[in-house]
Amino acid sequence: MIYLDYAATTPIDPSVLNVWVRTEQEQFANANSSHILGQRAWTFLQTQLSQMAELLHVQKDNLILCSSATEANNTILKGLALKYPHKKHIITSMIEHASLIGAVSALEAQGYDVDFVETTNDGLFDLNHLKSLLREDTLLVSLIAVNSETGILQPLDAIASLCRNAKIFFHSDVTQAMGKVPIDLNTLDFASCSAHKIYGPKGIGLLYRREDLSFIPLLHGGHSLSPYRSSTPQTALIAAFVRALELSMIHQKERFDKISKLKTYLIDKLNAMPRVRINSNAYSLPHIVNISILKTRPDKGIDYFSSYDICLSSKSACCGQDEYSASVYAITKDMERAQSSYRISLSHLTTLDELDALVEAIERMPYED
Ligand SMILES: Cc1ncc(COP(=O)(O)O)c(C=O)c1O
């Protein structure tokens, strides 16, 4: 099996799995319990949170552990909306992840005004346009750090300083950036990410909150790790997340370099294929290579690649004929390319043989009408 869908999720690292299993066995007590085992789990968790804070160069208080980036995205949008009911305007973009767009749409259905920041020809957010959209009643600006389809990395610092000067909250979904490139969370007001994109387990995510900012929690309940998210702390998942984060930081540069070489190898081969267009650009992280294979349809294409035991993705596995990738359209302004795009996502685990097999499969790909 050839797995080239690491942007969708990653296989758990064996040492992360080991930490997860061991912690589940050794620290099974409810960390909210006041008995001795509960206290031990609590103390253990505090150590884990301190380590996570250290890895991210933030404070423990900044960290709100939750189930996923989807939960983090929903929590911050809806939580701020509840806290500031008079602010009825949201600024985001058309190239956000579905979990962000879904939360924005839910608020729009309740009467919120939503504006979408345009992107330049390079796929970067147009900061002048963003500036022109800011309003007195803007609740927040939420813009993704790395687009999950094209891999384009946005200038977060510039966006953050623009929002700070305007005194408007800035949230960024950093799920595809975390662990892959250095991200300074301290420049942001809020950020979301997820462990399973960095060789950690599924079911654990993080909402970063600047310490002087607050919102109304979505999950109320008893006292827990953070007043912003009740429930029994997921001790083992948190420990596994910390280990995954640690590995992603330790190996960040070496993995980035290795993946960059893999990308160059792949792009060289793809460039020689007349039906292929490369959609990722100079701003894209090496982990994501977005291409269009002209005269193919991604819904059938994914099945075709599966028949060669190759797993990759398009905009979505169930992308209908009339659908297109808004992220690819944003950079190419070409509907044919946006309707025939595929995302190949690479890892330090990827081999040249796997890429050769992919290229061969693309060469043999049948034409669709
Ligand atoms: C940019 C981005 N945000 C959010 C998510 C959702 O993450 P999770 O699976 O943790 O809900 C993903 C994963 O698909 C993503 O790529």
Q: How sure is the predictor about 198, in pLDDT bands with cuts at 50, 70 and 90?
A: very high
DSSP 65-77: EES-HHHHHHHHH
- Considering only CA atoms, which residue is closest to atom 11 of ligand 1? 70
Does residue 317 carry a pLDDT above 70?
A: no
Among the listed residues 75, 77, 73, 72, the one whose alpha carbon sits nearest the alpha carbon of residue 90: 77
- Domain chopping of the chain, boundaries: 14-250, 252-363
Ligand 1 pocket, residue 10 CB under 6 Å: no
Does residue 17 carry a pLDDT above 60?
A: yes
pLDDT digits 0-9 by tens, 96-147: 999 999 999 999 999 999 999 999 999 999 999 999 999 999 999 999 999 9
User: At 105, which amino acid appears?
Assistant: S
- Considering only CA atoms, which residue is closest to atom 13 of ligand 1? 8
Give the ligand 1 atom nearest the CA of 72.
Answer: 11
d(C-alpha 19, C-alpha 24), whole Å = 8
Ligand 1 pocket, residue 99 CB under 6 Å: yes
Considering the segment(s) 14-250 as one domain, its CATH architecture is 3-Layer(aba) Sandwich (3.40)
Q: How sure is the predictor about 322, in pLDDT bands with cuts at 50, 70 and 90?
A: low
Which CATH topology does 252-363 take? Aspartate Aminotransferase, domain 1 (3.90.1150)
The percent of residues above 90 in pLDDT, for the chain, comes to 93
Give the ligand 1 atom nearest the CA of 7.
Answer: 16
Tokens of 49: 């949170």
φ, ψ at 289 (rounded to 5°):
-115, 110
Ligand 1 pocket, residue 96 CB under 6 Å: no
Ligand 1 pocket, residue 69 CB under 6 Å: yes
d(C-alpha 163, C-alpha 160), whole Å = 5
The mean-pLDDT minimum among 2-6, 88-92, 145-149, 321-325 falls in 321-325
Ligand 1 pocket, residue 142 CB under 6 Å: no
- The C-alpha R_g of the chain, in whole angstroms, comes to 21
Does residue 316 carry a pLDDT above 90?
A: no
- Residues marked active site are found at 318
CA of 70 to the centre of ligand 1 (A): 6
In degrees, rounded to 5, the angle at the alpha carbon of residue 346 between the alpha carbons of residues 343 and 347 is: 155
Q: How far is CA 169 from CA 108, 131, 165, 181, 304, in A?
A: 18, 13, 10, 23, 44
CA of 96 to the centre of ligand 1 (A): 10
pLDDT digits 0-9 by tens, 259-284: 999 999 999 999 999 999 999 999 99
Q: Are 367 and 12 in contact (CB under 8 A)?
A: no
- Considering only CA atoms, which residue is closest to atom 14 of ligand 1? 8
